[in-house]
A and B are shown apart, each in its own frame.
Chain A
């Protein structure tokens, strides 16, 4: 029963990781940028929701409604001002730029919000603590189910947009060959800016769920970035459904590790990541040209 429980809890944790990894995967898939500030952008989102929720006495879920559009704009402007410029100077520059951005964001948040640890869990009421009891030893937490459902819906919606809409087709065309996309009239820079906008908004959503799930502070970003990065690599770079699978594999590995011994939790996740990276598939991931 312990093991089944571990797998189920891992599934829910995986939903959270998939939520984090979604934007990272999208940005890498479309413009080959590994956004090292992704975790910190998520923490900005979490602080945004925290400010709105505490100031206006709203549930964090409602506070997300104004925060997400703001983060869309932030993402759009981030690309137009910083990322577009660094993309022009080669593939390595965005890596350095986002690394710098990560440090700037962490210190700015530290300056504004102090290093205090916050949580949105207490503001959500019973949803973050209640669960469906299946048996005496097995229960499904509301929040876990909600997180996984949101992750599946978000990745599914993005996949649908990529496959079925004109905007999605432009995004895929630009991802495959930006020069040729421009030759059929698709402006790569505006496609990139919109992809970044979506990625940053999904990061904020993930940050809010992290904040409801546990705690956050200005320096929470890098840890989340590592988990998101691992989820993306396990799932295969640039594929959205793969990212969901990667998040779940990572989550399950961590909870199973924790069942063996609590100190193996994070380690087990890293080990799965390393095994995937060392496997023949790892080489495939490194050279693969992403399609979504």
Chain B
């Protein structure tokens, strides 16, 4: 299986803690992948490592066949990988428009320009001259996604789409995500809200303690199965089974 984004045995550490343990993933062109998992499962670290904001301690990351594991993050952007970071991370002292223009300056050639991005996010039009620090959470999230789009990414990684947003704002942000998906975008989305995640994604990947514990097409999996993987219930069963087997072998 060779996807547009191909990750093999990726390892990432925070000091001694291994946050991502030999994760292998593949994202095909035009696919929407939802990454779910409990807090501390390693989802954000995985995305940050893919984007180059966190060093990989092992494994490879390939974009369209080219190994980008050791490439600095700004060059990954130039190759078509963009991350919407957790917490939006806008440049607070700059206006919405300036936030977008900064990302557009070294953009790959493509369809996204300041005008097309603002058309995709009509809510941002009246906010163009507003300082990013003065935006509401939903407006910030929209600006952050719009900013990432300005680089004309081939793969867009969105960390924590709805975290900390009012329900109304979540609807608006998802509406714009749906616009992107209809346009054929390749997305990897980290989402705490399982219902939301399953509603947009073609495929769902569940992480637990740094490992992928479930990977399946969205229609082939039930909410219960994902929940089970999410809390590690299935794994407890298998590990106790292994323990039993080990015991029986010994006797």
Contact = CB atoms under 8 A, between A and B. Distances in A.
Chain B interface extent, by class: 20 to 34
A185 B74 contact: yes
A180 B91 contact: yes
Contacts, number: 75
A173 B91 contact: yes
Interface of A is mostly: helix
A183 B83 CA distance: 7
5 contacts: A173-B91, A179-B89, A182-B73, A187-B72, A187-B75
Contacts of B150: 184
B82 A176 contact: no
Nearest to B157: A183
A169 B73 contact: no
B77 A185 contact: yes
Interface string B80-114: 00110100011111100011011101110000000
B80 to A, nearest CB: 10
Given A176-B93, A177-B91, A179-B53, A187 B74 contact: yes
Contacts of A177: 89, 91
Contact of B102 (A170, A179, A188): A170
B105 A169 contact: yes
Nearest to A180: B89
Among B90, B93, B151, residue most surrounded by chain A Cβ atoms (within 10 Å)? B93
B11 interface: no
Interface string B28-64: 0000000000000000000000011100000000000
Given A173-B94, A182-B53, A183-B51, A166 B103 contact: no
Given A172-B94, A173-B91, A183 B77 contact: yes
A180 B66 CA distance: 24
Contacts of A176: 91-94
Contacts of A180: 85, 89-91
Contacts of B151: 184-185
A170 B75 CA distance: 15
A181 interface: yes
A105 interface: no
A215 interface: no
B149 to A, nearest CB: 10
B203 interface: no
B211 interface: no
A186 interface: yes
